[in-house]
Amino acid sequence: MNKIIKLPFISMLESNLARGNSFIQVILGPRQVGKTTSILDFIDGEYPNKYHYVSADETFNSSASWIMEQWQIASKKSLLLVIDEIQKCENWAEVIKMLWDASQRKETKERPISCILLGSSSLQIQKGLTESLTGRFQLIKAFHWNLAESKEGYGLDLEEYLQFGGYPGSYQFTELRSQWVNYIKNSIITTVLDKDILLYHTVKSPSLFRQAFELVISYPAQEISYTKLLGQLQEKGNVELVKYYLSLLEGAYLIKCLSKYTGKPVLTRASSPKILPLAPCLFQLTIIDEYDGKERGRAFELMVGAQLARVEADLYYWREKNDEVDFILKQGKNIWAIEVKSGRKKSEKGLMKFMQKFPKSKGVILTPENYSDFEQNPIGFLSSSSLSGPSQ
């Protein structure tokens, strides 16, 4: 089964555009998760023959003049302008700022247009947004496909998703593991590492960087110190280098590094990271076989973490000596301590300890049995299913 489904970022875009064209719409997310396909399906339906779509990934020289040419085409015909892979364009943010500001002035002869920018490199895009486009854009995030989306679009069940989940283009190969591995490694990972990271960022040793990536995805939803990571790399480096590598991998939407929750920002930033691959398939790349019980538990935990990473909130983990909590989600004054159970015998001692230390927090236990309800509405589920702390 393979059908185009309406992903959350399209619903948000639709809502934003309905309010007018007073902001540039910027859509960021991983490669190969349906951004372009979904956008084209949406504008074909809502703006038939009223849009101008171009991709900077398909042109030889995506210079400032190229952007101006596309803008002029859209402006003359009052078209919705969509530029894909905008980070490929030289000085894109400054050029877009100039054109946008000019189109918003009343004295200009050009007609104001609506503009959508898509990108797959967070670090490249964010720099341009903060330096040049402050106050002129709305940011919309696209994500790896979760279980519900994978089930609706391709019929994956939980066990299939735990092994292959994240990139919908790979789902056609779930029964051909060697071809699946080839697709993920060559069509996605190599492309992301080479085009979104190494092409734009200074990396002294690309081989060491690739080795670092393979290492960190083998620690799914696990805390590991920077010095331990450094010690397992086969080439010389330092802790700051490892931190830099992790920041690049985060910027390309491959992993998320969680800090330890302490209630004190300085101590939080200094903690060892908990590595969270943002799709189960990244962990499966290190296994390339059926999971055993422990591996399946890790895959389910990272699946929960990836869904929590979608929420507009701060995500941490917690540990104090032998007591730990898988995830801490902080949204405003709300603090949820989330323990993930998937068949493995796990003590709830850490959860209780955290709730005693932070009395205003609430505890939640997530299992495969209640996961679907959680995924459908994470904050609603956490609010209705949580255990109150002592002061509550």
User: Which residues have C-beta within 8 Å of that of residue 310, sequence separation ≥ 6?
Assistant: 141, 143, 146, 378
pTM of the full structure: 0.91
**84, 36 contact by CB (below 8 A):** yes
Contacts 24+ apart (CB under 8 A), 218-221: 218/283, 218/286, 219/275, 220/275, 220/276, 220/277, 220/282, 220/283, 220/298, 220/299, 220/301, 220/302, 221/274, 221/275, 221/276, 221/298, 221/301, 221/302, 221/305, 221/326
* pLDDT value at residue 227: 87
**Type of residue found at 106:** K
Rounded to 10 degrees, what is the CA torsion of 129, 133, 135, 138? -60
- SS3 for 257? strand
The architecture CATH gives domain 8-141: 3-Layer(aba) Sandwich (3.40)
How high is the mean pLDDT of the chain?
90
- SS3 for 137? strand
* pLDDT value at residue 392: 43
User: Which residues have C-beta within 8 Å of that of residue 264, sequence separation ≥ 6?
Assistant: none
pLDDT digits (tens, 9 = 90+) for 247-304: 999 999 999 999 999 887 766 666 789 999 999 999 999 999 999 999 999 999 999 9
pLDDT digits (tens, 9 = 90+) for 8-24: 999 999 999 988 778 99
Token digits for 346?
A: 């796990």
Domain extent listing, the chain: 8-141, 147-388
* pLDDT value at residue 248: 94
* pLDDT value at residue 239: 85
Measured CA to CA, the distance from residue 209 to residue 248 in angstroms comes to: 10
DSSP-derived secondary structure for 213-233:
HHHHTTSTTEE--HHHHHHHS
Q: How far apart are the first and last CA of the chain?
A: 48
DSSP single-letter state for residue 337: E
For the chain, residues with pLDDT lower than 70 are: 1-3, 59-62, 106-112, 234-237, 266-270, 344-345, 388-392
Measured CA to CA, the distance from residue 102 to residue 112 in angstroms comes to: 9
Per-residue CA distances from 191 to 31, 120, 122, 279, 287 (Å): 9, 11, 15, 17, 21
